[in-house]
Chain A
Amino acid sequence: MTSHRDDIRDAVKQILAGSEPTIGAPIAHWDAQSWTNLTESGFADLGIAEESGGSGGDVTDAVDVAATIAASGVCLPIIEHGLACWVVSTTGLAKPTGTGTIGEDSSGIVAEESSGTVLLSGRISAVPWASIAQWLAVFDGHSVAVVDLAADGLVVHPGTDILGAPLCDVVMTGVVARSHAPTTVSASQVRSRGAALYSAAMAGSARAVVDATIRHTSDRTQFGRPLAKFQAVQQRLAQLASTVAQMERAVDEAAEALATDSTRAAVALASAKVVVSGAAADVAAAGHHLHGAIGFTREHPLGRYTGSLQSWRNRWGSADDWARVLASQILDDGPDLWDLITGGSDVASSDATSSDATSSDATIGARP
Chain B
Amino acid sequence: MSAPALDAHTPFSIDSERLDSVRADVRTFLRAEIDAGTFVPACDSWMSGFDPEFSARLGSRGWLGVTIPEQYGGHGGSQLERVVIAEEVLAHGAPVAAHWIADRQMAPSLLNFGTEDQRQKYLPGIARGETFFAIGMSEPEAGSDLAAVRTRAVVDGDSWRLNGTKLWTTGAHLAHAMVVLARTDGEIGDRQKGLSQFVVDLPHPSVEIRPIHSIDGEAHFNEVVFHDAHLPQSALLGERGQGWTQVMSELAFERSGPERYLSTMPLLRAWVEELRRDGSSEEQQRTVGLLTARASTLRQMSQQVARELSAGGHPDVLAAMVKDLGSTFEGELVEQVRRASGVEPRFGGGRFAELLAQGVLHTPAFTLRGGTNEILRSIIGRGMGLR
Interface residues in chain A, defined as those with a beta carbon under 8 Å from any beta carbon in chain B: 214, 217-218, 228-229, 231, 234-235, 237-239, 241-243, 245-246, 249-250, 252-253, 267-268, 270-272, 274-275, 278, 319-320, 322-328, 330-331, 333, 336-338, 340-342, 344-345
Provide the B27-39 mask, 1 if CB < 8 A to any CB of A, else 0.
1000000000000
Q: By the criterion CB–CB under 8 Å, are B285 and A327 in contact?
A: yes
Residue B60 interfacial (CB < 8 Å): no
**Nearest chain-A residue to B268 (Cβ)?**
A337
Q: Would you call B378 an interface residue if the criterion is a C-beta within 8 Å of the partner chain's C-beta atoms?
A: yes
The interface residues of chain A lying within 8 Å CB-to-CB of B318 are 245
* B302-345 to A contact mask, C-beta < 8 Å, 1/0: 00100000000000001001001100000000000000000000
Main secondary structure of the interface of B (DSSP, over half): helix
Contacts of A237 in B (CB 8 A): 381, 384, 386
Check A344–B23 contact: CB distance below 8 A. yes
**Contact residues in A for B293 (Cβ distance below 8 Å):** 250, 270-272, 274-275, 278, 322-323, 326
**Residue from the list B87, B289, B300, B376 in contact with A324, Cβ < 8 A:** B289
Is B288 among interface residues, defined by CB-CB distance under 8 A? Answer: yes
Taking A325-B289, A330-B272 as contacts, is the C-beta distance between A246 and B325 under 8 angstroms? Answer: yes
- Which residues of chain B come closer than 8 Å to A228, judged between CB atoms? 386
Chain A residues near B272 (CB-CB < 8 A): 330-331, 336-337
Partner of A253 from the list B282, B285, B300 (CB cut-off 8 Å) is: B300
Assess whether A323 is in contact with B290, with CB atoms less than 8 Å apart: yes
CB of B335 to closest CB in A, whole Å: 16
**B287: which A residues are within 8 A, CB to CB?**
323
Q: Give Cα A335 to B24, complex, Å.
A: 15
The reply to whether B380 and A250 contact each other, CB–CB distance below 8 Å, is no
Given contacts A271-B297, A338-B269, contact A239 B386 (CB under 8 A): no
Asked if B265 is at the interface (CB within 8 A of a chain A CB), the reply is yes
B119 beta carbon closer than 8 Å to chain A: no
- Min CB gap B357→A, angstroms: 21
B292 within 8 A of A: yes
A323–B297 contact, CB under 8 A?
Answer: no
Rounded to whole angstroms, the CA-CA distance of A242 and B289 in the bound complex is: 21
Pick from A250, A327, A328: contact of B297, CB below 8 A. Answer: A250
B176 within 8 A of A: no
Q: What residues of chain B lie closer than 8 Å to A250, measured between beta carbons?
A: 293, 297, 300
A-B pairs with beta carbons under 8 Å apart, 18 shown: A214-B384, A214-B385, A228-B386, A229-B387, A242-B380, A246-B325, A272-B297, A274-B290, A274-B294, A275-B297, A320-B286, A323-B289, A324-B282, A326-B288, A326-B289, A331-B285, A331-B288, A341-B299
**Chain B residues, Cβ within 8 Å of A336:** 269, 272
Q: Does B23 contact A342, Cβ atoms closer than 8 Å?
A: yes
Number of interface residues of B (CB under 8 A): 45
Given contacts A322-B289, A341-B299, 8 further A-B contacts (CB under 8 A): A217-B386, A218-B386, A234-B377, A271-B293, A272-B297, A323-B293, A327-B289, A344-B23
Instruction: Tell me if B384 and A267 are in contact (CB < 8 A).
Output: no
Alpha-carbon separation in the docked complex, A271 to B298 (Å) = 10
CA distance A278 to B91 in the complex (A): 24
Asked if A323 meets B296 with Cβ closer than 8 Å, knowing A237-B386, A242-B325, A245-B301, the reply is: no
When C-beta atoms are compared, the residue in chain B nearest to A264 turns out to be: B296
Q: Is B105 an interface residue (CB 8 A)?
A: no
A224 to B292, CA, bound (A): 45
Assembly CA distance A274 to B287 (angstroms): 11
Q: CB-CB < 8 A to A328: which residues of B?
A: 285
Residues of B at the A interface (CB closer than 8 Å) are 20, 23-24, 27, 87, 91, 265, 268-269, 272, 275-276, 280, 282, 285-290, 292-301, 304, 318, 321, 324-325, 374, 376-378, 380-381, 384-387
Closest to A320 in B: B286
What residues of chain B lie closer than 8 Å to A326, measured between beta carbons?
288-289, 292-293
A231 and B285 contact, Cβ closer than 8 Å, known pairs A250-B300, A338-B91, A341-B292: no
Pick the residue among B20, B285, B290, B292 that contacts A340 (CB under 8 A). B292
> Top 9 closest A-B pairs, CB basis?
A323-B289, A274-B293, A238-B377, A238-B380, A327-B289, A326-B289, A271-B293, A234-B381, A327-B285
Known A275-B294, A323-B290, A325-B289; contact A238-B87, beta-carbon cutoff 8 A:
no
CB-nearest residue of chain B to A247: B297
CB-CB under 8 A from B325, the residues of chain A are 242-243, 246
Q: A270 — which chain B residues lie within 8 A by C-beta? A: 289, 293
List of B residues within 8 angstroms of A337 by Cβ: 268-269, 272, 288, 292
Contacting residue for B289 out of A252, A274, A333, CB 8 A:
A274
| Residues of A close to B300: CB separation below 8 A | 249-250, 252-253
Q: Are A345 and B24 in contact (CB under 8 A)?
A: yes
Contacts of A235 in B (CB 8 A): 374, 377-378, 381
Chain A residues near B269: list those with CB within 8 A: 336-338
Evaluate whether A271 and B296 lie within 8 angstroms (CB atoms) in the complex, with A214-B384, A249-B304, A338-B91 already known. Answer: yes
Task: Determine the distance from Cα of A237 to Cα of B288 in the docked complex, in whole angstroms.
Answer: 29
CA distance A5 to B296 in the complex (A): 24
Given A327-B289, A344-B24, A246:B298 Cβ within 8 A: yes
A47: shortest Cβ distance to chain B, in Å?
22
Chain B residues whose C-beta falls within 8 Å of the C-beta of A278 in the assembled complex: 290, 293
* Contact assessment for A231 and B384 in the assembled complex, using a CB-CB cutoff below 8 Å: no
Q: Is the CB of A271 within 8 A of B384?
A: no
Task: Kindly state the separation between the CA atoms of A249 and B288 in the bound complex, as whole angstroms.
Answer: 21
CB-based nearest A residue for B298 = A246
Q: Cβ of B299: which chain A residues have Cβ within 8 Å of it?
A: 341-342
* Distance in angstroms between the alpha carbons of A217 and B290 in the assembled complex: 32
Q: Distance (Å) between the CB of B14 and the closest chain A CB?
A: 14
Q: Whole-angstrom distance between the alpha carbons of A341 and B297 in the complex?
A: 9
A238 and B384 in contact, given A336-B269, A344-B24, A344-B27 (Cβ under 8 angstroms): yes
Is the beta-carbon distance between A341 and B384 smaller than 8 angstroms?
no
Chain A neighbourhood of B292, CB < 8 A: 271, 323, 326-327, 330, 337, 340-341
